[in-house]
Amino acid sequence: MQRSLVLLKPDAIQRGLVGEIIARLEKRGLKIVAMKTMQLDETILKEHYAHLASKPFFPEIVSYMTICPVVALIVEGPNAIAALRNTLGATNPLEAVPWTIRGDYALSIGFNLIHASDGEEAAVAEIKRFFKEEEVLNYNKIDSNLL
């Protein structure tokens, strides 16, 4: 069983797409084990996007990601990390295929709606960065033996 951090970025909130996006994750079979709204700041974004902090577009990422709260979730499921990445679609929505979240709802890389961890190591670090242990719920779904 794997866990991944998911962030519904400010454009998901601004465009009223939070429910629709979470519905897609649930329908995929992923289990929500933590969820909250959060106002991000430059400090957490410099950690979260450390691999992009020296890029010329980083200030734009900070402005975009701090314009209003995000919804942070931890989702769980078998192969959750790979399942999420292909449910999200490519980073650049123009390259994301239809029926993916970005392929259906986004047009520009600067406003691509959603983040998910890109590997197991990243998932562990990101979950720790965004959630306290007591915010994470452990429970079984009655149909979990079907997944």
Whichever of 110 and 144 has its CB closer to ligand TYD, that residue is: 110
The reply to whether 115 belongs to the active site is: yes
Task: Indicate which residue of 89, 113, 115, 126 is catalytic.
Answer: 115
Tokens of 113: 């709606």
Binding site residues, ligand TYD, CB under 6 A: 49, 52, 57, 61, 91, 109-110, 112, 115, 118
Closest distance of CB 117 from ligand TYD, Å: 8
Distance of closest approach, residue 118 Cβ to ligand TYD, in angstroms: 5
CA dihedral 135, 136, 140, 145 (to 10 degrees): 150
Cβ-based burial of 39 (10 A; exposed 0-12, middle 13-18, buried ≥19): exposed
CB of 61 to ligand TYD, least distance (A): 5
Distance between CA atoms of residues 88 and 101, nearest Å: 5
Q: Would you name the residues annotated as active-site residues?
A: 115
